[in-house]
């Protein structure tokens, strides 16, 4: 009798974790990872690289769904229309979470209330990129050129309110120049026009243009980080040129607020497990991306601090909401 009771208890201990996991993800259905920009941009590159690894960690198929347009707003609204059950993830970036409330008058969501940051996965320093025809190879030469021809230089970005847009505006304010903004539906489109010479420059990430830089179809003038990127060792920082300027975009995994805590924890643990893999970290660094792996609380603190900091910066440089 005692032996039977012990066997039953042991069997129950084995069943409990399986039932718990089943409760977290009750259905074997694909998880959608929504990306707010088109193919070829850094957010898309990160999402597609991580998708198969997250599949292995979560035991669920991951489908990347690109929803470009409106600086990530279309993707955000798509994510918020889905149930808060963990089957819809969002490759969230600075814009939607920290700056859009200061840039757009009629948002249909409140990022602070409706979106739950789960784990930061990347920080990507911006690089001032230029078409080879631009007659400037150093930060000083570029600033001098822009001051000589105010409003003539055209710069592209992934859209109004994107991190690249704000980086360019903050840099312009910092050095006292005026450039003409050309917004796109994602950095991939902007980089295509930059390579074609339709626009002159852009603040974007190395991961988006690595092939163009290697083929001398674009040139990197400076990096907006404290130190040079290991993947671009010959490109100086703005600080080295005497311009105290840093700018980076970050990417994370977010979900709808209201998602059950066990699912949030499971997703966070899976993402951090993937980000700890050496091949992941190596690939990120090759692309000029700084790998990150935060807890939900750490990521939420970063978002809150950045939202306050960027709000003050936007007000200071005079960008008005549209």
Distances (CA, A) of 228 to 42, 171, 236, 294: 19, 18, 6, 24
Average pLDDT along the chain: 89
Q: Same CATH topology for 21-123+251-317 and 125-248?
A: yes
What are the pLDDT digits (tens) for 248-304?
A: 889 999 999 999 999 999 999 999 999 999 999 999 988 888 899 999 999 999 999
Q: pLDDT tens digits, residue range 276-289?
A: 999 999 999 888 88
- pLDDT at 63 (0 to 100): 98
How far are the Cα atoms of 114, 161, 163, 226, 231 from residue 286, in angstroms, in the given order? Answer: 34, 27, 21, 18, 6
pLDDT at position 288, please?
82
Q: What is the pLDDT at residue 24?
A: 65
* Span 219-236, average pLDDT: 93
Would you kindly state where each structural domain of the chain is located, as residue ranges? 21-123+251-317, 125-248
Task: Say how far apart CA 272 and CA 235 lie, in whole Å.
Answer: 31
Average pLDDT over residues 38-51: 91
Considering the chain, what percentage of its residues have pLDDT values greater than 90?
71
Contact 130, 221 (CB under 8 A): yes
User: What is the pTM (predicted TM-score) of this model?
Assistant: 0.77
Q: Which CATH superfamily is domain 125-248 in?
A: Periplasmic binding protein-like II (3.40.190.10)
Instruction: List, for residues 148-189, the tens digit of each pLDDT value.
Output: 999 999 999 988 878 889 899 999 999 999 999 999 988 889
CATH (one of 3.40.50.2030, 3.40.50.1820, 1.10.357.10, 3.40.190.150) for 21-123+251-317? 3.40.190.150
Other beta carbons within 10 angstroms of residue 140's beta carbon come to 15
pLDDT reported for residue 18? 35
> What gap in Å lies between CA 106 and CA 110, rounded to an integer?
10
pLDDT (0 to 100) of residue 151: 94
Kindly report which listed range (163-167, 211-215, 315-319) carries the lowest average pLDDT score.
315-319
Phi-psi region of 275 (alpha: psi -120 to 50; beta: other; left: phi over 0): alpha
Residues with Cβ within 8 Å of 186's Cβ and at least 6 positions away in sequence, in order, are: 37, 38, 39, 40, 41, 44, 68, 158, 159
Report the pLDDT value the prediction gives residue 42, as an integer from 0 to 100. 84
Residue linked to tokens 């902007």: 190
Banded model confidence at residue 1, pLDDT cuts 50, 70, 90: very low
Listed in sequence order, the DSSP H helices in the chain are 2-24, 42-58, 73-81, 94, 100-103, 111-114, 139-148, 163-175, 187-196, 206-214, 261-275, 278-286, 296-317
Nearest to 97 by CA among 265, 320, 309, 322: 309
The answer, yes or no, to whether residue 197 has pLDDT greater than 90, is yes
pLDDT for 5:
43
What is the distance between the alpha carbons of residues 35 and 180, in angstroms, rounded to a whole number?
A: 27
Is the pLDDT at 3 greater than 70? The verdict is no
The confidence score (pLDDT) of residue 70 equals 87
Alpha helices in 25-138 (DSSP H): 42-58, 73-81, 94, 100-103, 111-114
Exposure string for 277-307, b = 16+ CB within 10 A, e = fewer = eeebeebbeebbbebbbbebeebbebbeeeb
């Amino acid at each position: 009798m005692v032996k039977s009771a012990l066997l039953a208890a042991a069997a129950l201990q084995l069943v409990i974790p399986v039932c718990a996991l089943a409760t977290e993800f009750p259905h074997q259905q694909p998880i959608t990872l929504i990306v707010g920009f088109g193919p070829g941009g850094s957010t898309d590159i990160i999402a597609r690289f991580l998708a198969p690894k997250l599949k292995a960690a979560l035991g669920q198929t991951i489908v990347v769904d690109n929803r470009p347009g409106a600086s990530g707003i279309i993707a955000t609204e798509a994510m918020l229309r889905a149930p808060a059950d963990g089957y819809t993830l969002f490759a969230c970036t600075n814009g939607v979470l920290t700056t859009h409330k200061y840039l757009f008058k009629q948002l249909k969501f409140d990022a602070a209330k409706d979106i739950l940051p789960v784990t930061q996965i990347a920080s990507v320093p911006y690089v001032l990129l230029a078409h080879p025809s631009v007659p400037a190879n150093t930060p000083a030469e570029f600033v001098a050129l822009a001051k000589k021809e105010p409003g003539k230089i055209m710069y592209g970005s992934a859209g109004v309110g994107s991190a690249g847009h704000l980086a360019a505006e903050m840099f312009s304010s910092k050095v006292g120049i005026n450039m003409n903004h050309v917004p796109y539906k994602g950095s991939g489109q902007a980089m295509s026009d930059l390579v074609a010479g339709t626009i002159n420059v852009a603040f974007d990430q190395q991961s988006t243009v690595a092939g163009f830089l290697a083929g001398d179809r674009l040139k990197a003038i400076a990096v907006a980080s404290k130190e040079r990127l290991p993947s671009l060792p010959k490109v100086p920082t703005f600080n080295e040129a005497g311009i105290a300027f840093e700018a980076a975009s970050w990417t994370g995994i977010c979900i709808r607020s209201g998602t059950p805590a066990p699912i949030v924890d499971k997703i966070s643990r899976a993402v951090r497990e993937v980000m700890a893999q050496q091949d992941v970290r190596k690939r990120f660094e090759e692309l000029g991306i700084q790998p990150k792996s935060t807890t939900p609380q750490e990521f939420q603190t970063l978002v809150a601090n950045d939202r306050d900091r960027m709000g003050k910066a936007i007000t200071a440089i005079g960008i008005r909401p549209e």
